[in-house]
């Protein structure tokens, strides 16, 4: 049972529920965050049409129940998620929650999807604050840094721009987000993720190879930049099917970097409905998770609850984001925080891990989404 956090506000919070919520330090930021946090991507109608009035109630319920970390981005619904939050956040005490948003990823059109330039970064935070109806955010993050055309842009433009944002009082901490764990390599001695970037320009209808080099992603950023990274956000890497984040946590802790983990059900892999058609997981990952879901159904257990509890019970993970535009689903997720697994559920969980997840050996889809983005970008530029 937790002590009341600094974000507790009498008259707003449900004391009993807040006391049931675990709270953990987020690196060296000084922020003590709820183990379960709220990802507002769903409020942008990213996955389905949503009801803004219900979305407002979801945010209120989340905060009143003890969730004190909310994550959003301009990319989620092209501003809609932030705008919906902007309807409800002014009705809540600013001290009752921490808010993070992002820069760098914006439009659905592939040629306008990413822009990590300093000019766009500075403009983006002002747009976000206006939509959010806030004077500042607690964390400002570079959205999916692995998609940047060059690390030079991140080092020489994006990060210095975020430092200006922080110095201006518009954000308190700086973070990055992405899927590849190696993208968060902070140590010279750690395993290096090498990634080939090929830049193209259109000249008379022909493409020419402008740049081809190995890039040592975040390690290079950290070594070449004097700007401190306070927080990293990664997703689908602290889950039953891929728990490779566990191996990186001690290192992040040694660096004083706070970790935000997202999507404990791996973007629908660990659910009865299964992943969406666009999910980048390989067939072997999909099949193993589908078999696990069926096994859980046969034993009258909710695989999504197992997936969430598996992640939440890892106390070294400061906070895990869940996203929903359903008040019913939010309450269901909150109950998973408050209610331990039954003996039967624990047995099924161990069976699932042993029978279906362990053989995967933390299989992932690193590089798949970046490669697809590059392909689509090339096709668009050829037109």
pLDDT profile of the chain (383 residues), mean per 10: 85 96 97 98 90 96 98 98 98 98 97 97 98 98 92 90 98 92 44 33 32 43 77 95 92 87 97 94 98 98 98 97 96 95 98 98 92 93 87
Catalytic residue among 23, 69, 76, 98: 76
| Count of all residues that appear for the chain in the document | 383
- Phi (first) and psi of residue 278, to 5 degrees: -80, 0
Q: Is 76 a catalytic residue?
A: yes
- What is the per-residue pLDDT for 313? 96
- What is the per-residue pLDDT for 99? 98
Report the candidate in 150, 142, 153, 218 with the shortest Cα–Cα distance to residue 180: 218
- Distance CA(216)–CA(154), nearest Å, equals 13
- Distance CA(312)–CA(326), nearest Å, equals 20
Cα separation values, 257 from 38, 171, 172, 253, Å: 20, 17, 14, 6
SS3 168: coil
- Distance CA(382)–CA(358), nearest Å, equals 43
> In the structure encoding, which two tokens stand for residue 338, read together?
């408050």
The pTM assigned to this predicted structure is 0.90
- What is the per-residue pLDDT for 327? 96
- What is the per-residue pLDDT for 201? 35
Q: Please say whether the beta carbons of 150 and 199 come within 8 A.
A: yes
- Distance CA(237)–CA(366), nearest Å, equals 11
DSSP assigned state of 172: E
- What is the per-residue pLDDT for 217? 57
- Distance CA(353)–CA(241), nearest Å, equals 8
What is the rounded end-to-end Cα distance, in angstroms, of the chain? Answer: 59
């Amino acid at each position: 049972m937790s002590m009341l956090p600094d974000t507790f506000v009498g008259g707003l919070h449900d004391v009993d529920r807040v006391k049931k919520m675990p709270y953990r330090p987020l690196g060296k930021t000084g922020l003590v965050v709820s183990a379960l946090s709220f990802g507002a991507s769903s409020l942008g109608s990213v996955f389905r049409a949503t009801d803004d009035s219900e979305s407002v109630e979801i945010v209120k319920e989340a905060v009143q129940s003890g969730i004190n970390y909310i994550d959003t981005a301009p990319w989620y619904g092209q501003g809609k998620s932030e705008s919906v939050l902007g309807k409800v956040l002014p009705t809540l005490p600013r001290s009752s929650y921490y808010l993070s948003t992002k820069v760098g990823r914006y439009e659905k059109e592939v040629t306008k999807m990413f822009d990590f330039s300093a000019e766009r970064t500075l403009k983006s935070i002002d747009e976000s604050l206006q939509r959010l109806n806030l004077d500042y955010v607690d964390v400002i993050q570079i959205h999916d840094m692995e998609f940047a055309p060059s690390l030079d842009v991140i080092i020489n433009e994006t990060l210095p721009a975020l430092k200006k944002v922080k110095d201006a009082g518009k954000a308190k901490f700086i973070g990055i987000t992405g899927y590849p764990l190696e993208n968060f390599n902070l140590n010279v001695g750690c395993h290096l993720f090498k990634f080939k970037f090929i830049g193209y320009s259109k000249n008379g209808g022909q493409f020419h190879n402008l740049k081809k080099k190995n890039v040592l992603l975040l390690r290079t950023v950290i070594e070449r930049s004097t700007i401190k990274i306070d927080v990293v956000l990664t997703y689908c890497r602290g889950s039953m099917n891929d728990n490779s984040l566990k191996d990186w946590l001690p290192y992040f802790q040694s660096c004083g970097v706070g970790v935000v983990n997202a999507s404990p059900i791996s973007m629908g892999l660990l659910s009865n409905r299964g992943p969406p058609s666009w999910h980048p997981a390989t067939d072997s990952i999909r099949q193993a998770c589908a078999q696990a879901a069926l096994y859980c159904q046969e034993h009258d257990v909710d695989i999504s609850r197992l997936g969430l509890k598996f992640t939440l019970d890892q106390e070294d993970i400061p906070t895990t984001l869940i996203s929903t535009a359903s008040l019913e689903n939010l309450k269901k997720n909150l109950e998973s925080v408050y209610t331990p697994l039954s003996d039967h559920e624990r047995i099924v969980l161990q069976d699932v891990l042993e029978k279906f997840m362990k053989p995967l050996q933390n299989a992932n889809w690193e590089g798949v989404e970046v490669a697809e983005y590059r392909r689509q970008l090339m096709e668009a530029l050829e037109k």
